[in-house]
Structure 1
């Protein structure tokens, strides 16, 4: 008896050792040796690098995932199997059929050489730091994949709950039940079964998409190493329609492996869930299972799925049901299971409750994360006692009303209307100086002083946690805007009805005034991290602008190192706001200071500037976030670039970057047309947007080019510029066209390349944006700047329809030529076609994108064809004249340059962009002044 005990112990130890060896070999095969300690970082993944080969499973998985391509899990196993089939069937020897049939194949050897797709995902997860894990889980959620909830360490077995990785997950749904319950249903199996539990769960959630990976998925194999004991979670989100499977949001948890051998996970799930669903295999063995008996005795509802029986649903006792699933129609089984679960749902849960359970490790317990949480909580404590509609005015007095007033007077200064121009100018300058003095007098509020102090005293990782946490807390403060949104919608509906009736009583005007007030309240309640940095920019600008005690002010600013802080944040992947979208102004002093500092930090690096232009909500930011991940340049509330602040930040950034070559990519498009989604998919970014509203202003972010691509591309960084959308509804009646012209000229002038985003092919929308774009490029031509552009048509039904797309290209070329002739008259410029203004090939520079979603949200995954379109566009951007007009970031300075003049009734705006372009070979500097002007006629 004793000898048997030792033998059992020896076998267990040997099996454990063998499993450890296999896992180590897996990491070697995936080139992840040593990465369990030296973790992969976000910066490693987001670098612009050469396309990976199919054999590089890790990079292939990550690149596809960042592109929001749900085929990321599919491996190269199909090719291996094909090779194996050929090697078996290429035997021409004649022989007996039964003899050939009985020949053994090398299938097991082939299977053992394959890497299971989920092993790739989990190996990358284990080898990533906290921030990369969060990015991976966010992208998995966007692909409508299940997410790791309880994760055993592959070598120690310690179970971790990665709560931090869920912090950026956002789920939305429409419920017919106002209770807003969050329900959890747990699935696990006891014993071996012929039925796939994961496949059964997929049919409950989404019949058309494999939310949970199962045995019949492409690339699946039997040798799975890292998934045993892992619990995954996925949510079903109703759309508020009669076709919904469930009326509430339901979380489905899936324990992989036999629950008999994973006691701790089983205990946690049964404690947290509303309903337990058990898939039973060998009936005789299960009769002896104490775990099954204990589950049955629990007061919680329980459903037993019998894999060896084919009976329909039946009730055993109150809350206990059985369903046979052998040889039955799977749709019928799913319908019975849905109905049974729907009738048993009661208890609710939250992820935070799961973290409170004992004997479980939570990733947020590390010291740096706790320090970041505590610091962020301290900051948000300042806001708890304030009314959400007055918080910005209280804590950020410099960038609110005063800043908007200053921007307005600055515009009036350069667009004089009075006959006595000099007297008007003198008055306006005096008033602007008074506003700057008022801003300076406010100084640092207690909130801002605490925020800047924390940025200056924390380590790099503590600061990243701090900024992530404060963004989460601020979103919670400003995300509950449902009552304001409802008031806005109701008022807007009233106005539409009055317009239909051609109201003349004055009621329409009254309702419109009230709508504007609601809109202002909505804007005041929208509060995010970008508002804090706008305040920092205005604090800097006011201190640098007021002449009185200027040396003392500069000494104070040097002590708190504002531009240096902003430059460090840009280098670490946070965006900088270039232009304030509400004031329509660029804080040039601030932006210039930041870029100057950035240039000093980066050194001799070449930067490619990519901008994206499009109508509001055309998906510009999504595209950019997928590509890179930026911050803000223009203040979205004031619609103005804070010159002094941005100058200081750029100055500090310049110091850090030095002679790094930069390619600038900008994006422009109509509001809500998918700009940010496109950029996010392209570069793996997560563009910052205001809570509850679309992107406001202009944002920039740096993306590093890998050393292997550096020589080929001739630049060191891509500077991605995301912008607010054109034709924003909330700007209706506020010189929308005038604002759009300023924004387009600014964005086009800034970028080496501009992506012009068009949602669909609506003729009126296309004409609006093309008119603005042509005018902007013509202005660049007049000052001898030669940026390039690519037109992106989003949401095209059939991107492969060659004849149809050819006709679309022809119409676009005709429309561009037509707009060019009109713009040429306005600009007094000789041009007959768009090609006379900019080097443009309608065959190469027009892209058609498939629709983003494969089905109807909220349960629809992204369309893989969309991801492929994004990847093709990214390749085009990198190949299209990469060595032309590349800026050395220092001294790429933006600053104020007072100038006014009339040219054919065109009024110059307040912005003057001064760019020093340093030639690589001659080291000569050219000073170029770009006058950005707009016309009420265009």
Structure 2
């Protein structure tokens, strides 16, 4: 039974009927011959229109009729063929039975108004079963039926009165094809037989007469008038207009209005058909709405409804047509986006599985010509788009030439890399590259820190703060006060842009400083313009960390490791699709010890991290967890590395493949709906343990283990976690369990270069200049088996003979052992001895190690830098562990008692003997140059040696310090230093006016660290190293402020730490530290005195500082500006700082007053030898680390205080008088060194 509104009626699919006339209600069930079959393709089927004056009713479905031209063409062809068939049938017919067709100009409702068609050999089908041929026709019911269905007319008394005749074509011809009514009337206007309904319908107003009267008229004479036509006595009112409240792919709901003037119960006859067949018919009572289902999607259907009275009379049929809906695609997503293309993906529409379908993609953007793309695929890449442009992408399903409603997304193409760089002012640096010297240049920003007001100022602000090791450097935003973020840039985009625009030297320095701030650093760097991905192995090579695994805690031993060479597990975190949980925040909590929380990885809550990323999708960052050996602090007992991939793994397949092969474990954040993605991993080579952090609508989480070999399998390994804290605990337990497993994969980053190549990822070390430089450095380091022996054999010029020459040379000025001898005669004998020593030194030849060093220095500028860095790192790897143990021993002895000077001196000598750095090779070059005069004037070797000063001058511009005072020989190779600085003066085009800042102070008081933090330079501070002698480094001054400062560059002097008086040596080398300090002070415009927080050593230190200042009285008339810096000072109230500064002033003045030598020199107080500002002459700097190393970041207070001191020092330089250029500085070095 049909279900009316509230249910639905299935279409009667088993009633195939021929409907030649368009959307009609009366349909003849016939079985046609071949000619009738061909008539199915008549114009009436190909182009159907409504039979009455009511307009067609159909859904306003947007579509593209791009088959219209083909359809019209087919229509014309079929129409021609149909006319041929009719003519052929007419010529061969044997009787007058059949249908006749005629058309007059009086009717304009149809393009082809075919009422009846005459065919021979027609076979009438039963109207009841629609299967068997009819044998009888009831003239009363106007129905034809087969033998079985006609039995009721013989059994039921009421039906016995009906008139039955045999089926014949004549009867069928007299039935209206539209309404199954007898053709009782004749329309003289259209010259055709019609039924009563047609007379009231489309033929209303025409000249109509009864069929009987018309036939009589034919027999009368032409001048006799026929009877007037009389309308039937009873006309059934038709239903109201058909409407379609709901149209779905497989069903239609239709409704109609009440017939006017008809009261009481009402019946309605409903019929529907498609272009291919008649679908069904039924009669319903007292309902005006019905749902017809089991329809085909994308088809045109014709619905007819007529009112039927109790006598079986039908009203005029009301018709309407509608197309069933084509289901739109589902889950339209943007798989990938770049500057000029978008990759889209979607799924079948609802109930569309298995149905052949096509798709239309519409790409629209304001002001641009729309683009329409046709495809059979479910994924499409749309190319040739404009960068940084908003697009609306719509996808529609096409079935049977019909389009579905479109499903749309709005998206924006990524800006091109050049656009992003242009926005932040780095467009020129992409090709020319930023250099370290450019970043370290002193400019207006160093004098007054300003918050960036535009995006173009952000890179400088970030870099300047990073050079200061400020952990707040990432907060440099440029969002206006009204919250407009159009001028902001995502921090990850900023980092990506800076690394893409930096040379290898700056990249390495950025990584080093980022790691000190506990920022994650780039491991895999994407380039959105070239589509290349680069593993930043070279950039990470300079990171050295000290840590202590838990099993080593009882031994009190530390590991000093270059992290890229350490075999440790790699744990990776990635994302599939979109998740509400921030993996970066979870990683930060996982990395931080219980006593401190630090934002290692940028996350969405941080400033500017909610700005959409443009160029950093696919970036993989890395950070390390290093234990300190304290189980109460450490979260993990062993060191391990964590990586974090930005973006979706579906759009970063190479990065994901790399991590799956390189990692010990990969944790994938995903939603439960995305897990089908992992099917493509089945059977693939995946070395890592795969864990899923799956969420259900972001409300609960579960940890699952994914197995891909030999088949895909997911296993729950945790209960449902409803909070971040519960999930964090589960993650920590999972990682800890992995660490204790003996099967856990451990690998060094250096060994992952091969894996990167297999995944089509570049490695920054593969560049020719880097590889060639490594080969040149390896030729030197390969010869080192024992450092002390290597120095004796391969670096003979700086051995004992040079030390003896230095002592003799300085003895001519100092006369330390003149005794009762005549000073003149004593000096003559000293000079003779020096000459003998020089001759011995000149007997040495250039060794193979020095030749290799010279060869490495004579290459291109870029290759020379890589050579020096490779050599520096490789030499450090050879000596670091031994030096670290000796340095620890040295500190331990000094802390116990300074009385054990012999053991302390012995340990200090061992440190000197085991130390091998780049400075030793530069020192050897200096001695070679000093003795170059002994070589033939035009010899090749002499020519090569004479190039060394220029190469070392360039080395200084590359950021490497130059040794001014030889720390082992306690002497200055004046000839060498003079020539290097002269070459430097020439390279700078004689623009070398300079001012000097010097740091002096106690051993291990943080002098080098202070200068490195303040100016971003690289004085040696690695574990196992301690400054000996004095080193200089140049910092350029921006042209904008050169006139104000009165100089073109600033020279920084880092000096050896001052030692207590009790550490006296027989060779008088204990005087070296005081002499170096005095020289540095004499050369300086500003002096910083570094004082460690150790009261037991303060008195000795102040005495040495006072003597260093006192020597200035006879050396230089100029008094330098002085600042006293107390390092490692925890939070101290301002009043306490003021009190301690006052006590220090009194203590120093008292020392000057008691010293007899100073009184003779007319020095009574501190202000007699130095200048200082009472308001800011004493500084209290917090500790470097904020917490317990190695996981502690740099203290924000330390960085902020150092920056404030830097601004004061620069302002002090501005007040100092100009002092000349490098050439004049050379003269003062020689003068002051002899004087002090």
Structure 2 counterpart of 1:845: 1177
Deviation for aligned residue 1:813: 1.3
Structure 1 counterpart of 2:637: 247
Deviation for aligned residue 1:495: 11
- Say if 2:735 is the partner of 1:402: no
Deviation for aligned residue 1:913: 4.4
Q: Unaligned stretches of 5+ in structure 2?
A: 1-356, 362-372, 390-412, 553-558, 560-565, 708-712
**In structure 2, C-alpha distance between the alignment counterparts of 1:759 and 1:143, rounded to whole Å:** 23
Deviation for aligned residue 1:840: 2.0
Contact 2:667 2:691 in 1 (8 A): yes
Structure 1 counterpart of 2:1025: 693
**In structure 2, C-alpha distance between the alignment counterparts of 1:747 and 1:740, rounded to whole Å:** 11
Structure 2 counterpart of 1:654: none
Query: Any residues of structure 2 matched to 1:757-836 within 5 Å, and which?
Result: 757-760=1090-1093, 762-783=1094-1115, 784-798=1117-1131, 801-823=1133-1155, 825-826=1157-1158, 828-836=1160-1168
Larger helix fraction of residues = 1
Contact 2:691 2:703 in 1 (8 A): no
- Say if 2:267 is the partner of 1:267: no
- Residue deviations 1:124-182, cap 9 Å, x none? 11111222111111111111111111111122322111211112111221113469851
**In structure 2, C-alpha distance between the alignment counterparts of 1:300 and 1:550, rounded to whole Å:** 64
Question: How large is the Cα RMSD of the aligned pairs?
Answer: 3.3
**In structure 1, C-alpha distance between the alignment counterparts of 2:646 and 2:1000, rounded to whole Å:** 46
**Alpha carbons of 1:460 and 1:809: their partners in 2 closer, same or farther (altered >3 Å)?**
same
Aligned length: 800
Deviation for aligned residue 1:765: 3.1
**Alpha carbons of 1:489 and 1:715: their partners in 2 closer, same or farther (altered >3 Å)?**
closer
**In structure 1, C-alpha distance between the alignment counterparts of 2:907 and 2:804, rounded to whole Å:** 21
Which of the residues 924, 927, 943 maps onto 1:538?
A: 927
Q: Unaligned stretches of 5+ in structure 1?
A: 85-109, 503-507, 606-659, 896-911, 916-928, 934-938
Deviation for aligned residue 1:582: 2.5
Deviation for aligned residue 1:22: 5.8
Which of the residues 680, 688, 692 maps onto 1:304?
A: 692
- Say if 2:418 is the partner of 1:44: no
Deviation for aligned residue 1:732: 6.4
**Alpha carbons of 1:185 and 1:737: their partners in 2 closer, same or farther (altered >3 Å)?**
same
- Say if 2:522 is the partner of 1:148: yes
- Say if 2:138 is the partner of 1:138: no
Structure 1 counterpart of 2:722: 327
- Residue deviations 1:164-206, cap 9 Å, x none? 1112111221113469851111111222111100110111111
- Residue deviations 1:820-867, cap 9 Å, x none? 213464461223321222222221222221221111110101112211
Contact 2:468 2:1203 in 1 (8 A): yes
**Alpha carbons of 1:890 and 1:125: their partners in 2 closer, same or farther (altered >3 Å)?**
closer
**In structure 2, C-alpha distance between the alignment counterparts of 1:236 and 1:307, rounded to whole Å:** 27
- Residue deviations 1:452-507, cap 9 Å, x none? 23323x1111111111112122222222317x827x8679979999x89x9xxxxx
Structure 1 counterpart of 2:1199: 867
Structure 2 counterpart of 1:209: 598
- Residue deviations 1:96-145, cap 9 Å, x none? xxxxxxxxxxxxxx345432122222111111122211111111111111
**In structure 2, C-alpha distance between the alignment counterparts of 1:496 and 1:128, rounded to whole Å:** 44
Q: Matched residue of 2:972: which SS? A: strand
- Say if 2:609 is the partner of 1:220: yes
- Say if 2:778 is the partner of 1:377: yes
Query: Any residues of structure 2 matched to 1:512-591 within 5 Å, and which?
Result: 512=902, 519-543=908-932, 556=942, 560-591=946-977
Deviation for aligned residue 1:313: 6.4
Structure 2 counterpart of 1:237: 626
Query: Any residues of structure 2 matched to 1:273-284 within 5 Å, and which?
Result: 273-281=663-671, 283-284=672-673
Deviation for aligned residue 1:745: 0.7
**In structure 2, C-alpha distance between the alignment counterparts of 1:720 and 1:808, rounded to whole Å:** 28
Deviation for aligned residue 1:314: 7.9
Deviation for aligned residue 1:774: 2.2
Deviation for aligned residue 1:597: 3.1
Contact 2:493 2:614 in 1 (8 A): yes
Which stretch of the first structure deviates more once superposed, 867-876 or 18-27? 18-27
Structure 2 counterpart of 1:87: none
Q: Matched residue of 1:668: which SS? A: strand
- Say if 2:885 is the partner of 1:485: yes
Deviation for aligned residue 1:311: 6.5
**In structure 1, C-alpha distance between the alignment counterparts of 2:895 and 2:498, rounded to whole Å:** 53
Deviation for aligned residue 1:873: 1.3
Structure 1 counterpart of 2:1059: 727
**Alpha carbons of 1:323 and 1:222: their partners in 2 closer, same or farther (altered >3 Å)?**
farther
- Say if 2:843 is the partner of 1:441: yes
Which stretch of the first structure deviates more once superposed, 259-268 or 841-850? 841-850
**In structure 2, C-alpha distance between the alignment counterparts of 1:695 and 1:494, rounded to whole Å:** 19
**In structure 1, C-alpha distance between the alignment counterparts of 2:501 and 2:889, rounded to whole Å:** 50
Deviation for aligned residue 1:527: 0.7
Contact 1:305 1:323 in 2 (8 A): no
**In structure 1, C-alpha distance between the alignment counterparts of 2:1180 and 2:701, rounded to whole Å:** 51
Contact 1:306 1:325 in 2 (8 A): no
Deviation for aligned residue 1:312: 7.3
Query: Any residues of structure 2 matched to 1:395-474 within 5 Å, and which?
Result: 395-413=794-812, 414-422=815-823, 424-456=826-858, 458-474=859-875
Structure 2 counterpart of 1:350: 748
Deviation for aligned residue 1:310: 4.0
Which of the residues 1034, 1043, 1066 maps onto 1:702?
A: 1034
**Alpha carbons of 1:542 and 1:727: their partners in 2 closer, same or farther (altered >3 Å)?**
same
Query: Any residues of structure 2 matched to 1:732-751 within 5 Å, and which?
Result: 738-751=1071-1084
Q: Tell which structure's C-alpha radius of gyration is larger.
A: 2
Contact 2:690 2:705 in 1 (8 A): no
Contact 2:777 2:856 in 1 (8 A): no
Q: Matched residue of 1:442: which SS? A: coil
**Alpha carbons of 1:730 and 1:695: their partners in 2 closer, same or farther (altered >3 Å)?**
farther
Which stretch of the first structure deviates more once superposed, 836-845 or 13-22? 13-22
Q: Matched residue of 1:155: which SS? A: coil
**Alpha carbons of 1:190 and 1:551: their partners in 2 closer, same or farther (altered >3 Å)?**
closer
Structure 1 counterpart of 2:101: none
Structure 2 counterpart of 1:906: none
Structure 1 counterpart of 2:234: none
Which of the residues 123, 130, 134 maps onto 2:497?
A: 123
Which stretch of the first structure deviates more once superposed, 343-352 or 840-849? 840-849
**In structure 1, C-alpha distance between the alignment counterparts of 2:986 and 2:617, rounded to whole Å:** 50
**Alpha carbons of 1:33 and 1:848: their partners in 2 closer, same or farther (altered >3 Å)?**
same
- Say if 2:470 is the partner of 1:69: yes
**Alpha carbons of 1:425 and 1:28: their partners in 2 closer, same or farther (altered >3 Å)?**
closer
**In structure 1, C-alpha distance between the alignment counterparts of 2:893 and 2:604, rounded to whole Å:** 55
Contact 2:550 2:631 in 1 (8 A): no
Structure 1 counterpart of 2:488: 114
**TM-score (ref. length: structure 2):** 0.61
Q: Matched residue of 2:575: which SS? A: strand
**Alpha carbons of 1:556 and 1:315: their partners in 2 closer, same or farther (altered >3 Å)?**
closer
Contact 1:600 1:890 in 2 (8 A): no
**In structure 2, C-alpha distance between the alignment counterparts of 1:23 and 1:670, rounded to whole Å:** 50
Structure 2 counterpart of 1:169: 543
**TM-score (ref. length: structure 1):** 0.79
**In structure 1, C-alpha distance between the alignment counterparts of 2:1135 and 2:890, rounded to whole Å:** 45
Q: Matched residue of 1:375: which SS? A: helix
Deviation for aligned residue 1:429: 2.5
Deviation for aligned residue 1:773: 2.1
**In structure 2, C-alpha distance between the alignment counterparts of 1:462 and 1:847, rounded to whole Å:** 42
**In structure 1, C-alpha distance between the alignment counterparts of 2:890 and 2:610, rounded to whole Å:** 58
